[in-house]
Structure 1
């Protein structure tokens, strides 16, 4: 004999649990973010502080917030030859609205173009774990670098730059990191690891391979306690500003169907020469 479940589920509780969140609580006439009424946050916290609150649940200190802000400012743009920026401009010329152009560009920020910051944080964290486990500093750096290269190839994220002999953003950011270490805001563990990687690369290659923007912002995100995936997410927030600016500029030009290079410049065709179907 079959039995019928006569228990009536609490549908209100089921629905409440389905999209449960610890981030924002909204009721008619009330919006609280992480417990703070939104009207108290407006005009009193900066956008970097708001990002931190949303992602971490608490407000950062002033020095933490300004260091995060510096990383955000440094990463907004790298010119129209950057793939994500070029995509935003091409998409705009193809008729996409601003949101479509931004979405197209942001989707390009994956492992190769846009993922170096996350990968550098992961590399730093691996080396830090080796040190905590008792490995001497230089041995931990060398083992971490070697394992990363064995797993991912010779490209080491965060070091060297295809365009800049010395990344003009890196020195300023490192100075801000050092200032926060001196003030006790951050510990400097990941800054030391990144500099240890620099020293190892210089020794191996017999020339400097300095940190680039991804390597230094990875130091900042790691020092501030952001998870590796959030390092990429925060970078996307920053680069979205440059993407928006370029899409808007392109919209004002009135160009249509802008391709990846001027049509006057030919590409190299490497296929078969002209041929024809045999007639039966």
Structure 2
């Protein structure tokens, strides 16, 4: 049986969707790496495997990074998965629930599939939940050293770990130069996503992102959620903000308990059949 795939992007962050019932090979790390490779595979920032059975939810979803590791949660991935379900007639315009490794989320497709809103869950700054090494605490504005440079970071989780660094100017060079070292820093036993954040105004942030297991990334929904929560926790932005990234913009709403609602676009790219010799060589 040939395996079909669907490809979408959310602000330039692209994923392949695979239906587990139509998968004719084991989805192991080497296979994931090949599928995501820009030259030897289809090319993507990750793989979404679903829908899967999920007690207590309408659908289950597993999310894989291009290095073959499994991610707990992805805001862009969740929006893409919601659009895929809508395209396949599995959902309409009503809210529905998706179970991820990083927790239960609610999603709703809007504007005839062009936009998706996701209730991402509640952000926590507690070190034991993120996790960050050391005493149990809120990880807010602490020093971290990489490559001879000292930054001040805050850490957060929204089901996956984030290292948030405020800077006067967020540039691609910052993420590309320091992202890998921060991702793999000893402070983060499960590695971390990294965001460099520039506060443009109380209603607008600019992000540059290094994604755990993926590298430099044009946009990220969970990164936008975590970064906005940190900036709001520091009293530097409003509870409703626009997050600007190289790939485009997301709308983030932060509730008093730091529950996050994210809204943004999804674009279809392609669908096809994986060739029988894609894993050869």
What is the TM-score of this pair, normalised by structure 1? 0.24
Which one scores higher on RCO, CA 8 angstroms, separation ≥ 6?
A: 1
Which structure: larger Rg?
Answer: 1
What is the TM-score of this pair, normalised by structure 2? 0.24
